[in-house]
Structure 1
Amino acid sequence: MVTQIALVTGGSRGLGRNSALALAKKGIDVIVTYHSKREEAEAVVQQIEAGGRKAAALQLDAGLISSFDGFVQELTGVLRGKWDRGTIDYLVNNAGFGIGASFETTTEEQFDSLMNVHFKGVFFLTQKLLPHLEDNGGIVNLSTGLTRFASNGYSAYAAMKGAIEVLTKYLAKELGDRGIRVNAVAPGAIATDFGGGVLKSNQTVRDQISSVIALGRVGEADDIGGVVASLCSPEMGWVNAQRIEASGGMNL
């Protein structure tokens, strides 16, 4: 049986790291990308390899579209050198960051930085990788619960993720003849470093948000990685073009 390979962008920490580890537990080799946290990415690689899977880490600025050709060239070189092939089976578009700013104070610079990473970058990186994505593989795009329920300060961020959810359906439609499934995972409030890590450090905020979640607690990265990995498994082979919210039942 041919080993499957997943590429996880932003896989050095947070949800990307957890997704990479969950994929490895399912027997899938993993390539993670990082923006600047090389040591953290290498630690993920070491943890995956300690568990018996192959892994690699590559630098990628997910918002710098002009760098994508060079990245794809580097990726294919690593694939041939380490796996003796030039393709991946799964792409997890996870890389991202948050900016909390009201609609009226959001600057064009903030808007463009969010757009480049969360939508334009995803659009064109996926496009560049299509020739290197195996038929009958899959794409998982990370969205957010904020596309369903609004929260002050995230109008631009949530709008980009709303675009990702629409793109997910179009990709599923256009790539269906290749057997490529495309789905979106929409996490709720998760205690990671995202947005300054307030959900990790501020108990008052944690308590407040926990009060509007049906399961009564803030989410952790471990609550999301398995959802992403499951979409890269045969058991989910008939799930396509879906937005899967993993929020514990937030703001019902």
Structure 2
Amino acid sequence: MQIAIVTGASSGIGQSAAIQLARRGTGVILTYNGNQAGALETVEMIDKEDGAVVALPLDVGDSAAFPPFREAVAAALRDTWQRDTFDLLVNNAGFGHLAMFEETTEEMFDTLMRVLLKGPYFLTQTLLPLLADGGAIVNTTSNAALRSGLEPGYSAYGTMKGGLVVLTRYLAKELSSRGIRVNSVSPGSTRTRIADDAFERFPEVIPDLAAKTALGRLGEPDDIGMVIAALLSEECRWITAQDIEVSGGYNL
């Protein structure tokens, strides 16, 4: 059995990715920060399908927490799967923040950087000794970093996600000697809890987003989660260093 770590799996894309991986027979270690109820919901859904799952707390914006988290992962691997390595990593945890360039403060910028770029960078580095040779990593980026997804108000968010796209390529290059593949997915507008449940609070924005999308609707978490699971699978064993836009043809 392969084992995956999925960060930010208490809702949305991370929750979907964890469930999709479990359905493919993968053991899952999922993380949550603040939304323990959502994490327990994910665990329950995986349990219902007889999957093996462990939930651990983690703040990806706090790099001091990474070494203790690695110890917790090592313990979970030993206790649940009798293993000392895992196979798959999904760097998904994050948050969205809308602010026009002129109104973006250093505090906003630094928080986004800590969570969206520094976090995945150093978490991956910390977990690398436990990642088995021949494994795979998927980073959740955003089409806000691509020409197709350029929208006013996401200069800082898109910049961090763009950095993660570049990091994906470097990791693919440097980890290839161990047979580890590294790719990223760039979702478009997706119905998640991002930006404090923005789509629940402002449903009036959804028709305009759907109109800008070639396939005519807002993305759903499973639209992205399925792609993440597929990229980690044997079928995609010859794909590395790629960023896959998963947006239904946004601004096509």
**How does the TM-score come out when normalised to structure 2?**
0.97
* Residue equivalent to 1:165: 165
Q: Which amino acid aligns with 1:8?
A: V
Q: Does 1:83 align with 2:81?
A: yes
**Secondary structure of the structure 1 residue equivalent to 2:29:** strand
Q: Does 1:228 align with 2:228?
A: yes
Distance 1:51 1:137 in 2: 24
Distance 1:49 1:115 in 2: 34
Give the superposition deviation at 1:40: 1.6
* Residue equivalent to 1:4: 2
Partners of 1:6 and 1:90 within 8 A in 2: yes
Give the superposition deviation at 1:204: 2.5
Give the superposition deviation at 1:201: 4.5
Task: Extract structure 1 runs of 4+ deviating beyond 3 A.
Answer: 200-203
**Secondary structure of the structure 2 residue equivalent to 1:197:** helix
1:66 to 64, 67, 78: 64
Distance 1:77 1:204 in 2: 46
**Identical residues among aligned pairs (%):** 48
CA 66–135 in structure 1, closer or farther in 2 if over 3 Å, else same: same
**What root-mean-square deviation, in Å, do the aligned CA atoms of Structure 1 and Structure 2 show?**
1.0
CA 96–35 in structure 1, closer or farther in 2 if over 3 Å, else same: same
**Secondary structure of the structure 2 residue equivalent to 1:159:** helix
More displaced stretch, 32-41 vs 58-67 = 32-41
Q: Which amino acid aligns with 1:117?
A: V
Q: Does 1:187 align with 2:194?
A: no
Distance 1:150 1:14 in 2: 22
Number of aligned residue pairs: give it. 250
Q: Which amino acid aligns with 2:196?
A: G
* Residue equivalent to 2:129: 131
**Secondary structure of the structure 2 residue equivalent to 1:24:** helix
Pairing 1:3-22 to 2, within 5 Å after superposition: 3-22=1-20
